[in-house]
A and B are shown apart, each in its own frame.
Chain A
Amino acid sequence: MNVIVELEKPLTELEAKIDGLKKLNETQRVDFSGEIRALEERAQQLKREIFSNLTAWQRVHLARHPKRPLAMDYIAALNGFVELHGDRAFRDDPAIVAGFAYLEGMPVFVIGQQKGRDTKENLYRNFGMPHPEGYRKAQRVMRLAEKFKRPLLTFIDTPGAYPGIGAEERGQSEAIATSLRLMAGLSVPIVANVTGEGGSGGALAIGLGDHIIMLQHAVYSVASPEPAAAILWHDATKAEEAATRLRLTSDELFEFGIVDEVIREPLGGAHRDVAGVIRSVLAADRRALDALTPLAPDALVDRRYEKYRRLGAHAELVHDRAAR
């Protein structure tokens, strides 16, 4: 059960009531505007109470909210999207959507991880968990971006790469490893957007880039809190604590230098103003691409190398006591 959906129930009910009253107001002679105003104030207050101090665990659930905009929602807001299918070897993986489109007139290649809206869609999209063939489809599009000198936009939203028999047989590790290498060497700008869940290597496989944008309530971590709790605490019920400890929120990742830009969400989360959030994400993408496009290809690749080269928390040991 999604803790945010539970948490926002009184708010959703209140909002339904306001909508009902507004309709009545239009059709009836009685004036409800006073009541509406009072209820709206109450709703605003409730929203502040619920959402102004979200815990890491609540943010994990906000990132997984059933109404949160998905990769295809952003991609559909681009102009003239044409989807490209398949890895040319095994099958088309619906957990990864890829193709080309125009971002305010600028031709771009796009790759996104796509979850479903309901059970049926989720079964089709495998809950946004790609198989190796999904990453290999992404690689095809990366190579096209390189060949045709178009920037690459990616949208990250996955619990992780799929852990299954077929995925292992067909080389999940190799698929991710090759994507990482390919992205490190692309001579066109790469802007990655973490819009929902950024789960581990399966997320990073389309997330190595020049400018990493993250929505305020998206999360991005080395492992989802549930498996992390099972592994480190030997206790899956510690997921809430793991969520806090993993430092997976946008502000923390910004501080680590892993994320370059955080896009604020409306109070209550991205699903409360889907169109507005999509607009701000795409505007940020455009700004980033405008800044990156003038760079010479070699300079771009070098800059990307240095960006990742710096990441780490290590030091020279001064007193080597342990080593004796």
Chain B
Amino acid sequence: MSPTPNWLRRRSPRPEAATDALWEICPACSERLYRKDLDQRLRVCPRCGHHFRIGSLERIALLADGDFQELAQNLVTGDPLHWVDRIPYPQKIANDRARSGLLEAAVIGLCSIEGVAIGLGVMDFSFRGGTMGSVVGEKITLLIEECARRRRPVVIVCASGGARMEEGAIALMQMAKTSAAVERFSDTGLPLVTVLTDPTTGGVSASFGFQGDVIVAESGAAIGFAGRRVIDQTIRQKLPEGFQSAEFLLEKGQVDMVVRRSELKSALGGILRFLTATAVPA
């Protein structure tokens, strides 16, 4: 992975990195992997190609040309339902902030990918499972609106368990809000490219996730509307091999392409250049 740019150091380091285990086990092939080596390989298992999940900051470092400028960085959620389950919602948020070093489950900003100026939104599964509440909905909407004003394409990298239950119907309505923003954005003639990474489900896949003009899935990502467990419990029959994997969705005609992490940036660059070019390159 490319060296961490300055803006990424602004927030606390990820604690996993702090308590750095030297070795990690690949959950797919059980290979013991040297952590530094794994990091250098963009956290893809050199033996079986399993893509480990990566955070929003790592994803931005991977995709942006080193010029990422964050927008709406200080947006934080309220607690509209005064939610308590096993612990109060504000406590969950505080815990996730401390653990992830992030303020919320999405980071948005302006940058370029292979020289094409875009707006980039990246979700982070390590914060509340990447769920969409008020802040994620607002940030995605702001990003799309800002890009319409600046006449830039939008790229959104999804990683989410769906709508955030602790914000109830207000979280559900973020699906409507972001969908309205995408619909309005489409009038500008600018492209929206969505990248579905592990996992993309529920209210995020069923709103902007599957509203991209081009939909890219990262290799091995679990993508679907309902979670695997819910389907299991509902139908009580064996699920097909590779069910809800990126490759399965490609075969079923649900995504445009499956791309390995190492090729993601160049794939996006190619798509964005084609969709924004005013003339055919010689």
By a beta-carbon cutoff of 8 Å, the part of chain A in contact with chain B is 161-165, 167-174, 176-178, 180-185, 200-201, 204-205, 208, 220-223, 227-228, 231-234, 238, 242, 245-248, 253, 256, 258, 304-305, 308-309, 311-317, 320, 322-324
Contact = CB atoms under 8 A, between A and B. Distances in A.
B80 to A, nearest CB: 4
Contacts of B10: 323
Interface string B203-239: 1011111110000000000011111001100110101
A201 to B, nearest CB: 5
A180 B79 CA distance: 26
The winner among A162, A184, A205, A246 for most chain B CB atoms within 10 A is A184
Given A181-B183, A304-B180, A314-B77, A200 B168 contact: no
Chain B's interface size range is 35 or more
B165 A204 contact: no
B138 interface: yes
A245 B173 contact: no
Nearest to A176: B206
B98 interface: yes
Nearest to A238: B85
B89 to A, nearest CB: 10
B168 A222 contact: yes
Contacts of A184: 176, 179-180, 182-184
30 contacts: A161-B206, A161-B226, A163-B230, A163-B234, A164-B226, A171-B252, A171-B253, A173-B206, A173-B224, A177-B206, A180-B175, A184-B176, A184-B183, A185-B184, A200-B163, A208-B176, A208-B179, A222-B168, A223-B165, A234-B86, A245-B85, A246-B81, A246-B165, A311-B176, A312-B174, A315-B75, A317-B103, A322-B94, A322-B103, A324-B11
Contacts of B207: 176-177, 180, 201
B210 A173 contact: yes
Contacts of B64: none
Given A180-B179, A315-B78, A317-B75, 7 more contacts: A165-B231, A180-B175, A180-B207, A181-B183, A247-B169, A314-B75, A322-B97
A258 B165 contact: no
B180 A172 contact: no
A248 B169 contact: yes
A316 B165 contact: no
The winner among A167, A173, A232, A308 for most chain B CB atoms within 10 A is A173
A313 B165 contact: no
Contact of B75 (A164, A170, A316): A316
Contact of A185 (B177, B183, B206, B254): B183
Contacts of B182: 181, 184
A233 B230 CA distance: 16
A320 B74 contact: yes
Contact of A177 (B77, B209, B243): B209
Nearest to B74: A317
Contact of A256 (B11, B137, B169, B243): B169
B34 interface: no
B85 A177 contact: no
Contacts of A180: 175-176, 179, 206-207
Contacts of A173: 201, 205-206, 209-210, 223-225, 254
B56 interface: no
Contacts of A170: 252
B173 to A, nearest CB: 4
Contacts of B240: 165
Contact of A168 (B186, B209, B244): B244
The winner among A168, A238, A246, A258 for most chain B CB atoms within 10 A is A168
Contacts of A176: 206-207, 225
B124 interface: no
Nearest to A186: B183
A182 B176 CA distance: 11
A180 B205 CA distance: 12
The winner among A242, A248, A313 for most chain B CB atoms within 10 A is A313
B83 interface: yes
